[in-house]
Amino acid sequence: MLLMKDSTVEAFDRFAELPHNRDKKLEWLDGEIIEVPSNPYSSKLAIRIAAPLLLFVDARDLGHVTGEQGGYIVAGARLAPDVAYISKIRQPELETQTYNPKPPNLAVEVMSPSDDPDVLDRKLKKYAEAGVLVWVFDPPNQRVRILAPGQPEQVIERDGTLDGGDVLPGFTLALKDVFK
């Protein structure tokens, strides 16, 4: 939901830090302040993605996995992916205030009925500009779009298996386990 147009990033940062906004999932994209609503089903799918990802990353001490409240600065935008991974090499310790100054290595977006396709496309462009691997989960069609820097887009259907590619070698996730 669009909250404000023609906002500066500084105004967004102040707005996001207001006590009544701290628990909201807010993004700043191309001068717009957007509140990103969630729903229980999309949140459930995000947890089904985050849990095995966290187990894999923690077992190998690779870095950090964040949920939907973990915001990142991505090519100047302030984005809050549903799930994200940032390597210890890129950032040994996570930011404890506001939006993480470095983009994640991997961003996961779980589409929900309230998502604006134009906003999603603009976010995907920011992720691409920053060299971020993106998995876009499409619950109604039970598939995932994979957008890897410098590679053609891939689509994996419900019966397929997602892998971590160059970002998380060895990580796999059966989509049927996400779309139960």
Reference 156, options 128, 177, 175, 169; nearest CA is 175
DSSP-assigned letter for residue 117: H
Instruction: Kindly report, residue by residue over 89-146, the tens digit of the pLDDT.
Output: 999 998 887 789 999 999 999 998 778 888 899 999 999 999 999 999 999 999 999 9
* pLDDT the model gives residue 24: 72
CA 26-17-133 angle, to 5 degrees, is 40
Instruction: Kindly report, residue by residue over 9-21, the tens digit of the pLDDT.
Output: 778 877 777 777 7
3-state secondary structure of 18: coil
For the whole model, what pTM was predicted?
0.89
Q: Read off φ and ψ for residue 145, nearest 5 degrees.
A: -95, 135
CATH number 3.90.1510.10 is the correct assignment for the domain at 39-178: no
Domain ranges of the chain: 39-178
